Chains A and B, each alone.
Chain A
Amino acid sequence: MSSQDIPEENLPSTQDAHGGAVTKTAGDPFADPGLPPHEPRIQDVDERAAQRSERVVAFLFLLSMLATVGFIASYVALPVDKIVYIFPIGHISALNFALGMTLAVALFCIGAGAVHWARTLMSDVEVADERHAIAAEPDVKAKVMADFKQGAEESAFGRRKLIRNTMFGALALVPLSGVVLLRDLGPLPGTKLRKTAWSEGKMLINQNTLQPLRPEDIQVGSLTFAMPEGMKEEDHDFQKEIAKAALMIVRLRPENIKDKRELDWSADGIVAFSKICTHVGCPISLYEQQTHHVLCPCHQSTFDLSDGGRVIFGPAGHALPQLRIKVNDKGYLEAMGDFAEPVGPAYWERG
C-alpha cells in the first residue's frame, strides 16, 4: 500500500491541528518539551488498511473457533493410549498432542486477535492522567486523629486499666488452645530414631532375591543391598522401617580394611554399612569398585568403606554406621545386634 492511495484529507500533514505542536522551551535545552504529537498509524488514515486489520482479527477469532471444534473432535476420536511419531519431537501421545495443540491455537488466536485489534484499530493517542499524593491532607489527618481520640476516650480504654490488662491477658491465652490441639499431629521422638529393625540373630536378606545371604554370594567389587529377616514389603510399616534398616554389603580383602573396628565387625572380609546417608538421609547407591568409595547421588557425600565408612568428601558430617555381622552355623550372614549408633541424618539428641 503506497501513500499515494490515501485520501488527501487523511494525511498526517493535514491532521496535525490537534497534535499538540512542540514549542522549544526558551532557554533550557533540557526542558521537558511536553508530549510529542500523535503519529498516526496507517489504519488511522486509510480505511482500507483498517478493514484489512478487521479481517485479520476476525480470521484469528474464526481460527480459534475451528481449533475448539478440533479439540472436541480429538477428545472424542483419539484413543487415550495411541502413540504417534511427530517430527522432531519423537514418539508421543497422540491425544495429548492433539488436545494441547488445538487448545493452544484456540487460546492463542483469541489473544492474538484481541491484541491486534487493540494495536491497530483502537485509539493509540496517549493520554495523561494526574497523580495525587497518597498521603492525606493535614486537615483530613487532624480530623482522623480527633475522631480516634474521641473514640478512645469514649471506650475508656486508657482510663480503666483493669479492663485493658485482663483483655490483653485473655487474648494472649486463647491461642494456646490452638497450639495444644496440634499436639496429636505426631508422637514424641523418644528413642525412635535410635532403633532399627536389626537385632541379634536376624539374617541378612538379599533385597532382590528375598533369600538369606551366604558369604559366597558376595563377590569382591559388587554392591549388595539387604534387609533384616522377617521384613515384608506388604507390611504397613515397611516404608518406615526400610528407611532406617536399609543395608549395603561389600566384600573387601581383609588386608585392605584400614580400620581395626571395621575388621572386627566384618565376617570373611564382608562389611555391612547403613545405606542411609548421614547427611540428610538419601539412600547411597553408587559404588566405586577400585577405591571402595560409595557416593550419595543426592548431595555427593562420599564415604570410604575400607576405612570405617569415613567421610572423604561432601557435606555429610559423620561416618556411615556399620552393622556387626557374622556367619551363623547354617552358613548364612546374620546381624550380631542393632546398629551401635543412630543411622541417617544427625539430630540434636543424637550425641
Chain B
Amino acid sequence: MSTTTDNRRKAPAGERVADWADGRLGIYSLAKANMRKIFPDHWSFMLGEVCLYSFVIIILTGVYLTLFFHPSMEEVVYHGSYVPMQGMRMSEAFQSTLNISFDIRGGLLIRQIHHWAALIFLAGMFVHMMRVFFTGAFRKPREVNWLFGFLLFVLGMFTGFTGYSLPDDLLSGTGVRFMEGAILSVPIVGTYISMFLFGGEFPGSDFVPRFFSIHVLLLPGIMLGLLVAHLILVIYHKHTQFPGPGRTNKNVVGLPLMPVYMAKAGGFFFLVFGVIAAVAAIATINPIWAIGPYRPDQVSTGAQPDWYMGFSEGLIRVMPGWEINLWGHTLVLGVFVPLVIFPLVLAAIAVYPFIESWVTGDKREHHLLDRPRNAPTRTAFGAAWISWYFVLLIGGGNDLWATHFHLSINAITWFVRIGFFVVPVLTFIATRRICMSLQRRDRDKVLHGRESGIIKRLPHGEFVEVHEPLSQEQLHTLTAHEQPKPLELEPEFDENGVARKAGAGQRLKVKLSKGFYGEGTQIPKATREEYEEITSGHGHH
C-alpha cells in the first residue's frame, strides 16, 4: 500500500493493537462481516438473551460457590454459627452450605443468585422455545439450531437437578431417593445402574462428589459448547423477522450490532443480572437451614422438586401402581412407564419441526416469521403440548393443590389421569378454532377496514358504523403470509394408464397434510379481487 511511505506518523495505539491482532487472527475480515450486522427488533427476541445472560450469571456465581463448597458426604457434627443446628450430625456438603449461608459474607447472596438464575434460565429457555415454536422460527434452515436449543433445555434440567441435590439436605435427598427408586424400576439392569451410580446401596457416600463433577464439569461443559454453536448459527443464519413493509424473505431489517445492539444487548445483561440480584436480596430460595440434613428415614410434607422437574413428578404421582410378577421377576410398570414417558413428553415437541417439514414437503428457506394464528395446526399442537405439560405440573403438585384449594387429593389425581389424555385434545380443538376466528377477523379488517367506533346515520334512517380503510403497510402485513394447500395423492394411473400406487408413507403424508391444511383448517385470506370489489362500491360501510 502506498500509505506506508507517506504515513510516517504513528497510528493511534488502539489501531496498532488491532493491526497486531489482525496480522495474527484476521480480525478485520471478521469485523467487516459482523461489526455492523443487522438485527431486527421485537420484544420476543429478548427471551433468548435472558437465557444467555442467566447462564453467564450461573457460571460466574457457580465458580464462586466452588471456592467454599465441600462436595463430601463425610459425616460431621455441626459447631458453626447457626445455633439451631449445633450438635447435629450432617454431611460436610451440608455443613459447607450452612457456612456459605451464615459465615461467609455475601455467600448467601451468591448462593441465592445462583439458584434464582437457574430457575430463570430454565423458565427463559421454556418461553424462548415456545416463541420459536409458535412463530415457526424452527423451519429451514434453523432445524439444527432448534435441536441445539432443545438439548440445552434438557441438559439444563439435569444440571439443575444435580445442582440442587448437592447440599445434601432433606428435601433434595428425597428427590435423589425418588431418582434411585425410578432407576431400580428399569428391567434387568436397574439394580446394577443404581449400585454403580451410588457406589453401592443408597445413599452411600459417593453421590454428592459424583453429582458435583457432573454438575460443575460434565454438563456445563457440554452446554457451553452447545451454547456457542447455537449463537454462531444465529449469527450465520441471520435473525428471523416478522413480516411487514419492506421486510422480505431475502432481507433482514433492523439496527446494526455496533453501536445499537452492543448497547442494548450488553445493557440487557446488566438489567437481567440486576433484577436477579434484587430477587436474591429479598426472596429466600432453598432455605436448607430450615429443611435440615438428609436422613433416608425422614421426610417433610409438601416435598416438591424445582419447577422444571415438576412434570416428571406429575407422571410418577398419577401413574397407577401396576406391577407384574412373573417367573421370579418384577416388572415395575407403575414406575417404569413414567420413566419412559418422561423423555417422550419432551421429545414430542422436539420432533414437531421435522414432522411439519415432512408433511408440507417444503424445502425452501424461511426467514419471515408466522403469526401463530396463521399456522392454526402448529399453534394448536403447541398449545396442546403446553396444556399437557401443565396438567402434569398439577399432578406433580397434587398435594399442594389439595391443601391450598381444599380439594380431594384423590379427585385431583383422577383429574390428571384423565386430563393427561383429554386436555391436550380439547386444547388442540379450541386453539385451532380461536386461530381461525382471528384469521376471520384479519380478513374482515383487510376487506372492510378498522372499526372506528363512529356511528353514522344514513338519510333513510339506517345506522352504520364507519370503518377506516387500512394503510397499504397494514394491508401488506395482514396478507403477506402464505396459505399452504394440502398435498393430493397422484392419480393411481398415469396418463398412459400405467399403475403407480402410492406407498403407505405417501398416503399417510397426504392424510396428515389434509389434516394440517385441508378443509376447515384455515380461512382463505382476502384476495385482491374481493378487496377491489368491496372498495369500489358506493355507499358501502
Q: Which residues of B contact A35 (CB under 8 A)?
A: 245-246, 253
B260 touches A243 (CB 8 A): no
**Contacting pair A110 B270 (CB below 8 A):** yes
- The answer to whether the Cβ of A141 comes within 8 Å of any Cβ in the partner chain is no
A345 in contact with B203 (CB, 8 Å): no
* B472 pairs with A300, CB closer than 8 A: no
Known contacts A89-B282, A115-B268, A299-B316; is A281 also within 8 Å of B180 by CB? yes
Given the interface pairs A185-B196, A297-B301, the reply to whether A33 lies near B245 with Cβ below 8 Å is yes
B248 close to A (CB within 8 Å): yes
**Interface 9-mer from B5-13, B130-138, B211-219, B323-331:** B323-331
Residue of chain A at shortest CB distance from B326: A351
Rounded to whole Å, the gap between the CB of B227 and the closest CB of chain A is 21
Residues facing A in B378-414 (CB within 8 A) are: 398-399, 409-410, 413
B501 within 8 A of A: no
Contact flags A288-308 to B (C-beta < 8 A → 1, else 0): 000000000111110000000
Q: Among B75, B113, B302, find the residue whose CB has the most chain A CB atoms closer than 10 A.
A: B75
Q: Pick the contact of B105 from A28, A75, A316 — CB < 8 Å? A: A75
A20 to nearest B CB, angstroms? 9
| 0/1 string, B83-109, CB within 8 A of A gives 1 | 000000100000000000011111011
Q: Given A22-B472, A282-B299, does the pair A122, B259 have CB atoms closer than 8 Å?
A: yes
Interface bracket on A: 35 or more
| Cα separation A301 to B298 with both chains bound (whole Å) | 16
B190: A residues at CB distance < 8 A: 347-348
- Say whether B365 contacts A133, CB under 8 Å: yes
A129 to chain B: closest residue by CB: B38
Chain A, residue nearest B313 (CB): A299
Pair A36/B109 contact, Cβ less than 8 Å? no
What A residues does B277 contact at CB under 8 A? 100-101, 103-104, 107
Verify A281–B330 contact, CB threshold 8 A: no
**Complex contact B248–A32 (CB within 8 A):** yes
In the complex with contacts A108-B271, A111-B274, A130-B251, A315-B192 CB distance below 8 A? no
Contact B199 A186 (CB under 8 A): yes
Residues of B within 8 A of A182 (CB): 196
Taking the closest CB of chain A, its distance from the CB of B289, in whole angstroms, is 11
Q: Within residues 468 to 512 of chain B, which ones have a CB less than 8 A from any CB in chain A?
A: 472-473, 475-476, 479-480
Find B299's partner among A80, A236, A298 (CB 8 Å cutoff). Answer: A298
Q: Which B residues are CB-close (under 8 A) to A75?
A: 105-106
A287–B218 CA distance with the chains assembled, in angstroms: 43
One of B108, B141, B270 near A93 (C-beta < 8 A): B108
Cα–Cα, bound, A104→B298 (Å): 38
A151 vs B302: C-alpha distance when bound (angstroms): 64
**Which residues from A are CB-within-8-Å of B66?**
none
B331-372 Cβ-contact flags toward A at 8 Å (1 or 0): 111110000000000000000000000000000010100000
| A58 CB to nearest chain B CB (Å) | 14
**Per-residue CB proximity of B176-203 to A under 8 Å, as 1/0?**
0110111011111111101111111111
B181 touches A345 (CB 8 A): yes
Q: Which residues of B (265-321) have their CB < 8 Å from a CB of A?
A: 266-275, 277-278, 280-282, 284, 294-303, 316-321
Contact A29 B202 (CB under 8 A): no
A240 to B203, CA, bound (A): 6
Known: A75-B105, A131-B250, A351-B330. A114 touches B296 (CB 8 A): no
Q: In the complex, are the beta carbons of B191 and A349 less than 8 A apart?
A: yes
CA distance A118 to B271 in the complex (A): 14
With both beta carbons as reference points, the residue of chain B lying nearest to A89 in the complex is identified as B282
Q: A30-B531, A127-B255, A240-B203 are in contact. Are A280 and B187 (CB under 8 A)?
A: no
**Is B263 engaged at the interface, CB distance under 8 Å to the other chain?**
yes
Q: Quick check: A348 and B105 within 8 Å, CB to CB?
A: no
Contact, CB under 8 Å: B316 / A280:
yes
CB distance B330 to A346 under 8 Å? yes
The reply to whether B323 and A317 contact each other, CB–CB distance below 8 Å, is: yes
Contact code string A253-285 (vs B, CB < 8 Å = 1, else 0): 000000000000000000000011001111101
A65 to chain B, nearest CB (A): 13
Which of chain A's residues has its CB closest to B301's CB?
A297
Q: Given A110-B267, A280-B181: A186 and B317 within 8 A (CB)? A: no
Is A242 an interface position by the 8 A CB rule?
yes
* Chain A residues closer than 8 Å to B109, beta-carbon distance: 96, 99-100, 103
Q: Residue-by-residue, is A220-256 near B (CB-CB < 8 Å gives 1, otherwise 0)?
A: 0000010100000110100110111010000000000
Contacts of A282 in B (CB 8 A): 174, 177-178, 299, 303
What's the Cα separation between A314 and B395 when bound, in Å? 12
CB distance from B92 to the nearest CB of A (A): 14
Q: How many Å lie between the Cα of A125 and that of B81 in the bound state?
A: 59
Most buried by B among A101, A122, A225: A122
Task: Assess the B259–A187 pair: CB atoms within 8 A.
Answer: no
* CB of B436 closer than 8 Å to a CB of A: no
Say yes or no for A189: interface residue by CB 8 A criterion: yes
Q: Which of A25, A106, A131, A344 has the most CB of B within 10 A?
A: A131
Given contacts A100-B281, A193-B191, contact A281 B177 (CB under 8 A): yes
Interface residues as binary, B150-177 with A (CB distance below 8 Å gives 1, 0 otherwise)? 0000000000000000000000001001
On whether A128 and B473 interact (CB within 8 A), knowing A32-B246, A186-B200, A315-B317, the answer reads: no
Q: Mark A319-351, 1 if CB is under 8 A from B, else 0.
A: 000000000000000000000000011111111
CB-CB nearest in chain B for A246:
B297
In the assembly, what is the distance between CA of A208 and CA of B529, in Å? 86
Query: B316 is contacted by which of A81, A128, A233, A315 (Cβ under 8 Å)?
Result: A315
Q: For the complex, is A14 an interface residue (Cβ under 8 Å from B)?
A: no
A128 interface neighbour in B236, B251, B273, Cβ under 8 Å: B251
Q: A118 CA to B113 CA in the complex, in Å?
A: 28
A119 to chain B, nearest CB (A): 8
- Would B191 and A347 count as touching, CB distance under 8 A? yes
Q: Tell yes or no: B79 within 8 A of A by CB.
A: no
Chain A nearest CB, measured from B540 CB (Å): 15
Q: Closest chain B residue to A192 by CB distance?
A: B201
**Do residues A345 and B185 form an inter-chain contact, with CB atoms below 8 A?**
yes
Is the C-beta of B532 less than 8 angstroms from some C-beta in chain A? yes
Find out whether the CB atom of B282 lies under 8 angstroms from the CB atom of A317: no
Instruction: Assess the B278–A100 pair: CB atoms within 8 A.
Output: yes
B99 CB to closest chain A CB (Å) equals 11
Seen from chain A, the residues whose Cβ lies within 8 Å of a Cβ on chain B are 22, 24-25, 28-36, 75, 80-81, 86, 89, 92-93, 95-97, 99-101, 103-115, 117-119, 122-124, 126-131, 133-134, 182, 185-189, 192-193, 207, 225, 227, 233-234, 236, 239-240, 242-244, 246, 275-276, 279-283, 285-286, 297-301, 311, 313-318, 344-351
Query: Apart from A108-B271, A113-B267, what 17 extra A-B contacts exist at CB < 8 Å?
Result: A99-B106, A103-B277, A106-B274, A111-B270, A126-B253, A189-B192, A239-B294, A279-B181, A280-B180, A297-B300, A297-B301, A315-B320, A346-B185, A347-B184, A347-B330, A350-B329, A350-B330
List residues of chain B with CB under 8 Å of any chain A CB. Answer: 37-38, 75, 81, 89, 102-106, 108-109, 112-113, 141, 174, 177-178, 180-182, 184-192, 194-206, 236-238, 245-246, 248-256, 259-261, 263-264, 266-275, 277-278, 280-282, 284, 294-303, 316-323, 325, 328-335, 365, 367, 398-399, 409-410, 413, 446, 472-473, 475-476, 479-480, 528, 531-532, 535
Interface CB pairs A-B, < 8 A, 30: A29-B528, A32-B246, A32-B248, A100-B113, A100-B278, A101-B277, A101-B281, A106-B274, A108-B274, A110-B267, A111-B268, A115-B267, A118-B259, A185-B199, A186-B196, A189-B191, A189-B192, A207-B297, A233-B89, A243-B297, A281-B296, A299-B316, A314-B317, A316-B321, A345-B180, A345-B181, A347-B185, A347-B332, A348-B329, A349-B330
